Chains A and B, each alone.
Chain A
Amino acid sequence: ETGVTQTPRHLVMGMTNKKSLKCEQHLGHNAMYWYKQSAKKPLELMFVYSLEERVENNSVPSRFSPECPNSSHLFLHLHTLQPEDSALYLCASSIGERPAGDTQYFGPGTRLTVL
Protein backbone atom coordinates (compact mmCIF):
# COMPACT_ATOMS: atom_id res chain seq x y z
CA GLU A 1 0.00 0.00 0.00
CA THR A 2 1.53 3.28 -1.09
CA GLY A 3 2.07 5.70 1.81
CA VAL A 4 0.42 8.82 0.37
CA THR A 5 -1.98 8.63 -2.55
CA GLN A 6 -3.54 11.42 -4.57
CA THR A 7 -6.43 11.46 -7.03
CA PRO A 8 -6.87 12.37 -9.73
CA ARG A 9 -3.34 12.32 -11.13
CA HIS A 10 -4.30 14.70 -13.93
CA LEU A 11 -7.11 17.26 -14.09
CA VAL A 12 -8.12 19.74 -16.77
CA MET A 13 -10.76 22.26 -15.84
CA GLY A 14 -12.30 25.47 -17.08
CA MET A 15 -12.27 28.64 -15.05
CA THR A 16 -15.93 28.26 -14.11
CA ASN A 17 -15.69 24.63 -12.98
CA LYS A 18 -15.69 23.28 -9.44
CA LYS A 19 -13.49 20.30 -8.73
CA SER A 20 -11.79 18.65 -5.76
CA LEU A 21 -8.41 17.05 -5.24
CA LYS A 22 -8.14 14.15 -2.81
CA CYS A 23 -5.24 12.96 -0.70
CA GLU A 24 -5.12 9.91 1.53
CA GLN A 25 -2.29 8.77 3.77
CA HIS A 26 -1.84 5.24 5.12
CA LEU A 27 1.04 6.03 7.47
CA GLY A 28 -0.85 6.80 10.67
CA HIS A 29 0.35 10.42 10.55
CA ASN A 30 -1.32 13.35 12.29
CA ALA A 31 -0.30 16.22 10.02
CA MET A 32 -1.13 16.79 6.35
CA TYR A 33 -0.03 19.46 3.91
CA TRP A 34 -0.89 20.94 0.52
CA TYR A 35 1.90 22.33 -1.65
CA LYS A 36 1.87 23.99 -5.05
CA GLN A 37 4.74 23.33 -7.47
CA SER A 38 4.99 25.66 -10.45
CA ALA A 39 7.61 25.50 -13.15
CA LYS A 40 10.99 26.91 -12.11
CA LYS A 41 9.79 27.87 -8.62
CA PRO A 42 10.42 26.24 -5.25
CA LEU A 43 7.61 24.25 -3.71
CA GLU A 44 5.15 26.61 -2.06
CA LEU A 45 3.38 25.57 1.13
CA MET A 46 -0.36 26.28 0.94
CA PHE A 47 -2.04 24.71 3.97
CA VAL A 48 -1.09 22.67 7.03
CA TYR A 49 -3.48 20.55 9.05
CA SER A 50 -2.53 19.02 12.39
CA LEU A 51 -4.99 16.66 14.08
CA GLU A 52 -7.65 17.81 11.61
CA GLU A 53 -7.26 21.48 12.54
CA ARG A 54 -5.89 23.99 10.07
CA VAL A 55 -2.73 25.44 11.60
CA GLU A 56 -1.36 27.27 8.60
CA ASN A 57 -2.83 29.15 5.67
CA ASN A 58 -0.05 30.68 3.61
CA SER A 59 -2.01 33.60 2.14
CA VAL A 60 -3.74 31.34 -0.34
CA PRO A 61 -6.59 32.83 -2.42
CA SER A 62 -10.09 31.85 -1.32
CA ARG A 63 -10.70 30.01 -4.59
CA PHE A 64 -8.69 27.21 -2.92
CA SER A 65 -10.59 25.68 0.00
CA PRO A 66 -9.06 22.82 2.02
CA GLU A 67 -10.96 20.24 4.04
CA CYS A 68 -9.60 17.65 6.46
CA PRO A 69 -12.44 15.38 7.65
CA ASN A 70 -10.07 13.05 9.53
CA SER A 71 -6.34 12.56 9.97
CA SER A 72 -6.10 10.23 6.96
CA HIS A 73 -7.86 12.35 4.35
CA LEU A 74 -7.28 15.80 2.94
CA PHE A 75 -9.17 17.56 0.18
CA LEU A 76 -8.54 20.70 -1.83
CA HIS A 77 -11.71 22.16 -3.28
CA LEU A 78 -11.22 24.33 -6.35
CA HIS A 79 -13.58 26.89 -7.84
CA THR A 80 -13.28 29.76 -10.34
CA LEU A 81 -9.56 29.13 -10.83
CA GLN A 82 -7.29 31.15 -13.07
CA PRO A 83 -4.88 29.86 -15.74
CA GLU A 84 -1.95 30.82 -13.51
CA ASP A 85 -3.20 28.26 -10.99
CA SER A 86 -2.07 25.51 -13.37
CA ALA A 87 0.60 23.55 -11.49
CA LEU A 88 1.43 20.27 -9.78
CA TYR A 89 -0.40 20.09 -6.44
CA LEU A 90 1.36 17.90 -3.92
CA CYS A 91 0.03 16.45 -0.71
CA ALA A 92 2.32 15.40 2.12
CA SER A 93 1.94 13.94 5.58
CA SER A 94 4.09 13.69 8.71
CA ILE A 95 3.88 12.33 12.24
CA GLY A 96 3.24 15.85 13.46
CA GLU A 97 5.00 15.78 16.80
CA ARG A 98 8.72 15.13 16.95
CA PRO A 99 11.09 17.59 18.57
CA ALA A 100 14.12 16.39 16.62
CA GLY A 101 12.47 16.71 13.23
CA ASP A 102 9.24 15.75 11.54
CA THR A 103 9.86 14.24 8.12
CA GLN A 104 7.24 14.84 5.44
CA TYR A 105 6.33 12.17 2.90
CA PHE A 106 4.83 13.25 -0.40
CA GLY A 107 2.17 11.87 -2.68
CA PRO A 108 2.62 11.68 -6.46
CA GLY A 109 0.75 14.92 -7.06
CA THR A 110 -2.14 16.08 -9.22
CA ARG A 111 -1.19 17.85 -12.44
CA LEU A 112 -3.80 20.60 -12.79
CA THR A 113 -4.38 22.54 -16.00
CA VAL A 114 -6.81 25.47 -15.97
CA LEU A 115 -8.05 26.53 -19.39
Chain B
Amino acid sequence: GQQLNQSPQSMFIQEGEDVSMNCTSSSIFNTWLWYKQDPGEGPVLLIALYKAGELTSNGRLTAQFGITRKDSFLNISASIPSDVGIYFCAGQRIQGAQKLVFGQGTRLTINP
Protein backbone atom coordinates (compact mmCIF):
# COMPACT_ATOMS: atom_id res chain seq x y z
CA GLY B 1 0.00 0.00 0.00
CA GLN B 2 0.91 3.64 -0.13
CA GLN B 3 3.40 4.73 2.52
CA LEU B 4 4.99 7.99 3.47
CA ASN B 5 8.38 8.15 5.11
CA GLN B 6 8.62 11.18 7.35
CA SER B 7 11.87 12.28 8.95
CA PRO B 8 13.17 12.96 11.42
CA GLN B 9 10.93 11.14 13.89
CA SER B 10 11.86 13.57 16.63
CA MET B 11 13.79 16.80 17.05
CA PHE B 12 15.17 18.53 20.13
CA ILE B 13 16.14 22.13 19.44
CA GLN B 14 16.80 25.43 21.16
CA GLU B 15 14.29 28.24 20.96
CA GLY B 16 15.08 30.47 18.01
CA GLU B 17 16.55 27.72 15.84
CA ASP B 18 15.18 26.84 12.43
CA VAL B 19 13.53 23.45 11.85
CA SER B 20 13.33 21.31 8.75
CA MET B 21 11.42 18.08 8.18
CA ASN B 22 10.44 16.14 5.09
CA CYS B 23 8.33 13.38 3.66
CA THR B 24 9.07 11.05 0.80
CA SER B 25 7.00 8.46 -1.00
CA SER B 26 7.38 5.86 -3.72
CA SER B 27 4.03 7.04 -5.13
CA ILE B 28 3.00 10.27 -6.79
CA PHE B 29 0.56 12.54 -4.98
CA ASN B 30 -1.60 15.37 -6.32
CA THR B 31 -1.73 17.20 -3.02
CA TRP B 32 0.55 17.48 -0.01
CA LEU B 33 -0.71 18.67 3.35
CA TRP B 34 1.10 19.51 6.57
CA TYR B 35 -0.70 19.24 9.91
CA LYS B 36 0.27 19.96 13.51
CA GLN B 37 -1.18 18.05 16.43
CA ASP B 38 -1.07 19.20 20.02
CA PRO B 39 -1.52 16.70 22.88
CA GLY B 40 -5.15 15.64 23.28
CA GLU B 41 -6.26 17.46 20.14
CA GLY B 42 -6.89 16.64 16.51
CA PRO B 43 -4.50 17.61 13.70
CA VAL B 44 -4.75 21.22 12.56
CA LEU B 45 -3.99 22.09 8.95
CA LEU B 46 -0.91 24.30 8.52
CA ILE B 47 -0.25 24.37 4.79
CA ALA B 48 -1.80 22.77 1.70
CA LEU B 49 0.16 22.32 -1.54
CA TYR B 50 -1.59 21.58 -4.84
CA LYS B 51 1.03 21.94 -7.58
CA ALA B 52 4.40 20.31 -8.16
CA GLY B 53 7.15 22.80 -7.35
CA GLU B 54 4.80 25.02 -5.34
CA LEU B 55 6.41 26.89 -2.45
CA THR B 56 3.96 28.25 0.12
CA SER B 57 4.46 30.19 3.33
CA ASN B 58 2.25 30.64 6.37
CA GLY B 59 3.97 33.04 8.77
CA ARG B 60 7.19 31.40 9.92
CA LEU B 61 6.27 28.16 8.14
CA THR B 62 7.33 27.36 4.58
CA ALA B 63 6.50 24.17 2.69
CA GLN B 64 7.29 22.94 -0.79
CA PHE B 65 5.71 20.37 -3.09
CA GLY B 66 8.55 18.44 -4.72
CA ILE B 67 8.99 18.55 -8.49
CA THR B 68 8.76 14.76 -8.71
CA ARG B 69 5.46 14.88 -6.74
CA LYS B 70 6.90 12.23 -4.44
CA ASP B 71 8.18 14.47 -1.66
CA SER B 72 7.56 17.59 0.39
CA PHE B 73 9.36 19.51 3.10
CA LEU B 74 8.31 21.84 5.90
CA ASN B 75 10.55 24.50 7.39
CA ILE B 76 9.90 26.49 10.56
CA SER B 77 12.02 29.57 11.09
CA ALA B 78 12.95 31.11 14.45
CA SER B 79 11.14 28.49 16.53
CA ILE B 80 9.14 29.53 19.59
CA PRO B 81 7.81 27.43 22.48
CA SER B 82 4.30 27.14 21.01
CA ASP B 83 5.77 25.31 17.99
CA VAL B 84 6.09 22.22 20.21
CA GLY B 85 3.95 19.36 18.98
CA ILE B 86 3.79 16.59 16.41
CA TYR B 87 3.91 17.52 12.74
CA PHE B 88 2.38 15.22 10.13
CA CYS B 89 2.68 15.22 6.39
CA ALA B 90 -0.14 13.76 4.33
CA GLY B 91 -0.43 12.91 0.66
CA GLN B 92 -3.62 12.79 -1.35
CA ARG B 93 -4.32 11.20 -4.75
CA ILE B 94 -7.94 10.44 -5.38
CA GLN B 95 -10.55 12.94 -6.53
CA GLY B 96 -13.96 13.23 -4.92
CA ALA B 97 -14.07 12.04 -1.31
CA GLN B 98 -10.37 11.80 -0.90
CA LYS B 99 -8.06 9.46 0.95
CA LEU B 100 -5.18 10.87 2.94
CA VAL B 101 -2.01 8.87 3.55
CA PHE B 102 -0.17 10.10 6.63
CA GLY B 103 3.47 10.06 7.60
CA GLN B 104 4.53 8.78 11.00
CA GLY B 105 4.95 12.27 12.41
CA THR B 106 7.85 14.41 13.65
CA ARG B 107 7.78 15.22 17.36
CA LEU B 108 9.28 18.66 17.98
CA THR B 109 10.61 19.58 21.42
CA ILE B 110 11.98 23.04 22.13
CA ASN B 111 14.31 23.97 24.97
CA PRO B 112 13.81 27.56 26.09
Contacts and interface: CB of A to CB of B under 8 A. Distances in A.
Interface of A: 4, 6, 30-31, 40-43, 45, 48-50, 55-56, 90-92, 94, 96-109, 111
16 contacts: A42-B102, A42-B105, A48-B97, A48-B99, A50-B97, A55-B96, A56-B99, A92-B42, A94-B97, A100-B30, A100-B50, A101-B48, A102-B31, A103-B31, A104-B33, A104-B100
Nearest to B38: A108
Contacts, number: 79
B50 A50 contact: no
A17 B45 CA distance: 34
Residue in B40, B88, B100, B104 whose Cβ sees the most chain A Cβ within 10 Å: B100
Contact of A103 (B45, B95, B101): B45
B41 A50 contact: no
Contacts of B67: none
B99 A45 contact: yes
A113 to B, nearest CB: 13
A100 to B, nearest CB: 5
Interface residues of B, number: 26
Interface of B: 4, 30-31, 33, 35, 40-45, 48, 50, 88, 92, 95-105
B98 A102 contact: yes
B98 A106 contact: no
A96 B100 contact: no
Closest 8 CB pairs of A and B: A50-B97, A101-B31, A106-B42, A31-B97, A102-B98, A43-B102, A42-B102, A101-B50
Contacts of A43: 43, 88, 100, 102
A103 B97 CA distance: 10
Nearest to A42: B102
Given A42-B104, A101-B30, A103-B33, A50 B96 contact: yes
